[in-house]
Amino acid sequence: MEHLKQKAIKRIVLLSIAVFGLSIAYFIITKQNLNAISKGFITGLYISLLGLSLFFIVKTAFFLRSKEALKTHFIKETDERKALILQKTSRMSMIVYSVSLGLATCIAFFYNDVVFYTLFGVMLFMAIIKVILKIFYSQKY
């Protein structure tokens, strides 16, 4: 049980460091001369990431109050069935993303060169990452 408690405390500390680093990065970026759209997007992204991080900090701190809640949380977190579902979902969604991106790239070819090259670059980057990960996991397992 002490191991789970230390793991939860470590998670809270890491999330707190991430919030601190995120806040510093936000204030450095917003000091730059940005237009309203860029500043609004960065502010929205910052608030979203900050809210999500604070939610997980509070959630983890709540589990630290009770040993049973902590144990139940970590059992749910390490459930093999959920991991398998996540793995299968990720694989299928990657196929859907790739096909959709390919279709969007073909359509963009007829409308705008910049959009076409951007989508093509994203599609190429995704393919390279997939190949690298496939080689990595083939050697690992």
Average of pLDDT values for 56-68? Answer: 85
Q: Is the pLDDT of residue 1 over 80?
A: no
Percentage above 90 pLDDT, the chain: 38
Whole-model pTM above 0.85? no
- As a residue count, the chain comes to 141
Q: What is the pLDDT of the chain when averaged over all its residues?
A: 87
Average of pLDDT values for 19-40? Answer: 89
Do 105 and 87 form a contact (C-beta atoms < 8 A)? no
Q: Is the pLDDT of residue 77 over 90?
A: no
Name which of 107, 126, 125 is nearest 116 in CA terms: 107
Cβ neighbours around 119 below 10 Å, total? 20
Which residue in the block uniquely carries the two structure tokens 């997939």?
130
Backbone angles phi, psi at 64, to 5 degrees: -70, -15
Which residues lie closer than 8 Å to 78 by C-beta, 6 or more apart? none
Q: Using alpha carbons only, give the angle 23, 55, 22 rounded to the nearest 5 degrees.
A: 15
Q: What is the pLDDT of residues 108-134, one digit of tens each?
A: 988 888 999 999 999 999 989 988 988
Average of pLDDT values for 6-20? Answer: 90
Average of pLDDT values for 8-28? Answer: 92
